[in-house]
């Protein structure tokens, strides 16, 4: 029984390889429209005992350890995206109609255009000022997670959507990005007033835009954040290759040592939803190690954002611990009232709220 269950769960997943879309290299596919998820959709998981997730998590961890991030993540520009491939199979989403496929294509094309525009602005100001550029990037990178949590709290207040895992993971992501920002500040990236002014004002308008986008289409907001994180990975990867020898001679900032090697790494594990807790423990000996781990953090953010693009797909890594045996009281099904409260975006929430009220009356 265990063998057949494991086979049923793992067979449909694309194999992990250095260049395969299911591996870490698949993060590049946000540029090319082939952003297939590494995870199952919510609908497929409801009928599967929880033991299957522990089996899947173990296999993914073993296979991921064979990957070399520097080889798997190769720099690419968002502008290189093949818009003809954006659509039905993007992010692992299976559109229920041609119209939905068209909507996905439009959403991702807009995201690619916006990301390209921001990259060109940053390139014009920071082509030879790395730490200042990183300071601006990290100031901006925190914003989506604040926006996601704001909308999720609003949904909770209305009784539309109550998912603790989403709030936990997004807070952990913002906590990680905050420490990236503290590192850049310690390195002097915020020393010029113009850099602080530009970063803070971009962040303000980015927050408003993300709240509106997430309210209307969480899928679109998560894809846009994936584009941003993918660019961040590419930026740090290029920096490591260009300045690696010099960075190895410089000491690591104290804030980085405390964050990556401290005793309490619960939140550090929490945002890495593609791997089991405690499976990644960085070593910080110099500044090169710091930027290497920041780059790898961006890769984990990218995978988490990709997983979020399938509604209800996100699970906290810690919530999967201790689930080796199925709960006898867990039928794997959602009650009718839970289904009614579970919605995606403000339009879907209003529609389901009205439908539920009419059914009850």
Q: Is residue 87 part of a domain?
A: no
Q: Is residue 23 part of a domain?
A: yes
Question: What's the pLDDT band for 284 if we cut at 50, 70, 90?
Answer: very high
* Angstrom distances, CA of residue 257 to CA of 55, 135, 185, 260: 33, 18, 15, 6
**Maximum Cα–Cα distance for the chain, whole Å?**
71
What is the domain count for the chain? Answer: 1
pLDDT in tens, 304-314: 999 898 877 78
pLDDT of 261 higher than 70:
yes
State how far the Cα of 242 lies from the Cα of 322, in Å rounded to an integer: 43
Q: Which residues of 46-80 are buried (b: 16+ CB within 10 A; e: fewer)?
A: eebebbbbbebbeebeeebeebebeebbeebebee
Local structure of residue 288 (DSSP, 8 states): H
pLDDT in tens, 204-247: 999 999 999 999 889 999 999 999 999 999 999 999 999 999 99
Domain with 10, as residue range(s), is: 2-74+108-360
Q: Is residue 92 part of a domain?
A: no
pLDDT of 278 higher than 80:
yes
CATH of the domain at 268: 1.20.1260.140
Q: Is residue 354 part of a domain?
A: yes
User: What proportions of the chain, in percent to the nearest 5, are helix, strand and coil?
Assistant: 65, 0, 35
Q: Is residue 91 part of a domain?
A: no
Q: Is residue 95 part of a domain?
A: no
pLDDT of 11 higher than 90:
no
Q: Is residue 80 part of a domain?
A: no
Q: Is residue 89 part of a domain?
A: no
Of 28-37, 105-114, 188-197, 256-265, where does mean pLDDT reach its minimum? 28-37
């Amino acid at each position: 029984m265990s063998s057949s269950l494991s086979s049923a769960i793992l067979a449909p997943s694309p194999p992990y390889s250095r260049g395969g879309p299911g591996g870490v290299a698949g993060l590049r596919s946000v540029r090319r429209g082939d952003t297939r998820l590494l995870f199952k959709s919510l609908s497929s998981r409801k009928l599967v005992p929880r033991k299957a997730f522990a089996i899947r998590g173990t296999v993914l961890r073993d296979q991921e350890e064979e990957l070399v991030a520097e080889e798997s993540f190769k720099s690419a520009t968002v502008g290189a995206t093949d818009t003809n491939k954006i659509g039905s199979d993007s992010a692992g989403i299976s559109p229920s109609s041609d119209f939905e496929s068209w909507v996905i294509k439009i959403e991702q094309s807009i995201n690619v255009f916006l990301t390209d525009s921001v990259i060109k602005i940053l390139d014009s100001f920071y082509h030879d000022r790395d730490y200042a550029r990183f300071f601006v990037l990290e100031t901006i990178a925190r914003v989506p997670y604040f926006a996601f949590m704001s909308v999720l709290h609003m949904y909770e207040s209305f009784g539309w959507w109550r998912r603790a895992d989403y709030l936990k993971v997004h807070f952990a992501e913002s906590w990680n990005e905050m420490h990236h920002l503290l590192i850049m500040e310690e390195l002097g990236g915020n020393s010029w007033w113009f850099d602080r002014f530009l970063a803070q004002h971009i962040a303000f308008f980015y927050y408003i835009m993300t709240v509106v986008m997430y309210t209307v289409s969480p899928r679109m907001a998560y894809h846009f954040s994936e584009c941003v994180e993918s660019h961040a990975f590419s930026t740090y990867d290029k920096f490591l290759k260009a300045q690696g020898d010099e960075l190895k001679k410089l000491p690591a900032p104290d804030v980085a040592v405390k964050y990556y090697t401290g005793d309490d790494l619960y939140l550090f594990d929490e945002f890495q939803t593609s791997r089991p807790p405690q499976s990644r423990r960085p070593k910080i000996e110099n500044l090169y190690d710091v930027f290497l781990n920041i780059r790898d953090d961006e890769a984990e953010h990218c995978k988490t954002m990709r997983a979020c693009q399938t509604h209800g797909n996100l699970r906290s890594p810690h919530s999967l611990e201790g689930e080796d045996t199925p709960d006898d009281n867990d039928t794997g099904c959602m009650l009718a009232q839970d289904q009614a409260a579970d919605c995606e975006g403000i339009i879907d929430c209003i529609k389901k709220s009205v439908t539920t009220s009419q059914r009850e009356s």
